[in-house]
Amino acid sequence: MSAPTLILISGYARAGKDTLANGILEWSNRPCGRINFADALKEASNHYLEYLQLEGDFFNETFKCDHRDFLVAAGRLARSIDVDIFAKHLANFVPCIPNTEGMAHETVVTSDWRYANELRVCKNILPELGWRIRTIYVETAGIGPANSEEEDSIEAIRYNHSFDHELFFGPNERQSIMHAGRDLAREWKL
């Protein structure tokens, strides 16, 4: 049996990272799931709302978009105290979090890899626990960075890291992106 695998997907917002992740997960034959670096921030933000007895859920896309400024500010605060906080959280808990059937994940896809330190932290923690790490860069024609911070962080990753796969798509190629995810799941025997 092959080692459990963390797949980190990087690229600009709206480039197809989540669609690729869905393709990989759909065709994985092993217990699998998606866990993102931002999940800890969303969970903590939901606890904040609950504590104040406010309605809302940061895992809900509409609510998240409506209140993105709060998430950005909370994330910046946390990263200013410990730049590796979200990466350490993910890397330490990926091996422990069961899937919906209560089984340990053997494949975890993370579709929000945005900072070079996230890979460094995962490489420092997960291989010692028997995990391998695969990396993918996704780009879609006509999709650029959402802001200068995203542009700088993704460029830093691309400059400092050789990806296992780099995928380039034209506009409106959702099915091609899904198909690429399925192909990777088969190729990597996930």
**Residue span of the structural domain in which 85 resides:** 38-93
Residue 11, token pair as written in the block = 């690229």
Q: Let me know if residue 99 belongs to a domain.
A: no
Domain annotation covers residue 126: yes
Residue 56 domain flag = yes
132 and 190 together in one domain? yes
All residues at 6 or more sequence positions from 68 whose CB lies less than 8 Å from its CB, including other chains? none
The answer to whether position 60 is within a domain reads yes
Average pLDDT, the chain: 92
Is 149 inside a domain boundary? Answer: yes
The burial class, CB within 10 Å (0-12 / 13-18 / 19+), for 185 is buried
User: 72 and 49, same structural domain?
Assistant: yes
Same domain for 50 and 15 = no
Structural domain count, the chain: 2
Confidence of residue 100 (pLDDT cuts 50, 70, 90): low
- Asked whether residue 65 is assigned to any structural domain, the reply reads yes
174 and 148 in a common domain: yes
Band (32; pLDDT cuts 50, 70, 90): confident
In this predicted model, what pLDDT tens digit does every residue of 166-189 receive, in sequence order? 999 999 999 999 999 999 999 998
Cα distances (Å, whole numbers) of residue 8 to 14, 37, 103, 135: 16, 10, 21, 5
- State the residue for tokens 């969303």: 42
* Distance separating alpha carbons of residues 51 and 34, to the nearest angstrom: 27
Same domain, 118 and 169: yes
The pLDDT of residue 74 is above 80: yes
Tokens describing residue 106: 């053997």
Same domain, 31 and 116: yes
Q: What is the pLDDT, as a whole number, of residue 31?
A: 82
Pair (43, 122) in one structural domain: no
- Are residue 57 and residue 123 in the same domain, yes or no? no
pLDDT one-digit tens code per residue, 46-55: 999 999 999 9
Q: Would you state the structure tokens that stand for residue 23, as one six-digit string?
A: 């393709």
Sign of the CA dihedral with 63 first, then 114, 41, and 174 last = positive
Same-domain status, 129 and 172: yes
100 in a domain, yes or no? Answer: no
Tell me if 187 sits within 8 A of 157, measured CB to CB: no
Task: Identify the CA nearest to 139 among candidates 9, 22, 28.
Answer: 9
Same domain, 122 and 177: yes
- Is the domain of 52 the same as that of 141? no
Token pair recorded at residue 90: 């993910």
Quick one: which of 101, 82, 102 has its CA closest to 41? 82
98: pLDDT strictly greater than 70:
no
The two tokens of residue 182 are 């399925």
Domain shared by 30 and 57, yes or no? no
In a domain, 98, yes or no: no
Cα R_g (the chain), whole angstroms: 16
Whichever domain contains 147, its CATH number is 3.40.50.300
